[in-house]
Chains A and B, each alone.
Chain A
Amino acid sequence: DGGITQSPKYLFRKEGQNVTLSCEQNLNHDAMYWYRQDPGQGLRLIYYSQIVNDFQKGDIAEGYSVSREKKESFPLTVTSAQKNPTAFYLCATGGTGNQPQHFGDGTRLSIL
C-alpha cells in the first residue's frame, strides 16, 4: 500500500542528546514536510523539501535539522539546541499545491 511511514511512534530524549525521527514515503511525491503539533495547537512547519538535496526552513526551524538524500526519505533531527522538544511530530508529503497533503501517523517525543 502507498503511504508514509514514521518511526518510532514514541521517543524519549535525554538532556543534551540529539535524536532522529524517520519518515519514509512510497507515494513518489516530490515535496516532503515536517510539522510540530503542541497540545491544543495546529500544525507548525519546521522544514520542507521540494526536491532531493534541497530543503527550506519553515516557521520554527531553530533547534532542528533535516536532510533529503533520497526522494523517499526525509529524516528530522531534534538537536540539543531545541530546549522544548516535547511535542507530536508529523511528516507529510504534498503535490503541487492543488493536492491535499498525505500524513504519517506521527512520532510523539518526550524529554526524560
Chain B
Amino acid sequence: EDKVVQSPLSLVVHEGDTVTLNCSYEVTNFRSLLWYKQEKKAPTFLFMLTSSGIEKKSGRLSSILDKKELFSILNITATQTGDSAVYLCDVVKGTYKYIFGTGTRLKVLA
C-alpha cells in the first residue's frame, strides 16, 4: 500500500529559528514530490522535486529529494510568524494520482 509519512506532526518555534520538515514515502510508480503551504484555505504550491540531490530554493525555503532513501526535507531558515501554517508533502504516482501526507503544523512565535 502506498504511503506518505510526514514528521514531526507539529512544531512550535520562535522567530529566527531554523526548522526542518521531513517527508518519507513508499509509493510505486513514483513521478515527483511536491510541497505545499496551507494557511486557512487552499494549499499553495512551494516546490516540485523530481531528481535526487538537486536543491530547490525560494528565499528562506529550500527542499531536496533523496530517491534512494525515499525521503524529502523542507528547510525554513530565519522563521517568521508568517511561516505559521500546515506544510503538506504530496507524492505523484503515475500520471494522475496525488498522495498526500498528514501534514506538519508549524507555529512560529514572535
Contacts and interface: CB of A to CB of B under 8 A. Distances in A.
Contacts, number: 63
Given A100-B45, A104-B42, A42 B92 contact: no
Nearest to B32: A98
Interface residues of A, number: 23
Contacts of B31: 97-98
A103 interface: yes
B101 A42 contact: yes
B16 interface: no
B98 A41 contact: no
Contacts of B94: 97
Contact of B96 (A50, A104, A106): A50
Given A43-B43, A97-B96, A101-B43, 15 more contacts: A35-B100, A40-B103, A42-B88, A42-B101, A42-B102, A45-B99, A94-B96, A96-B95, A96-B96, A97-B95, A98-B50, A98-B92, A100-B48, A101-B45, A106-B42
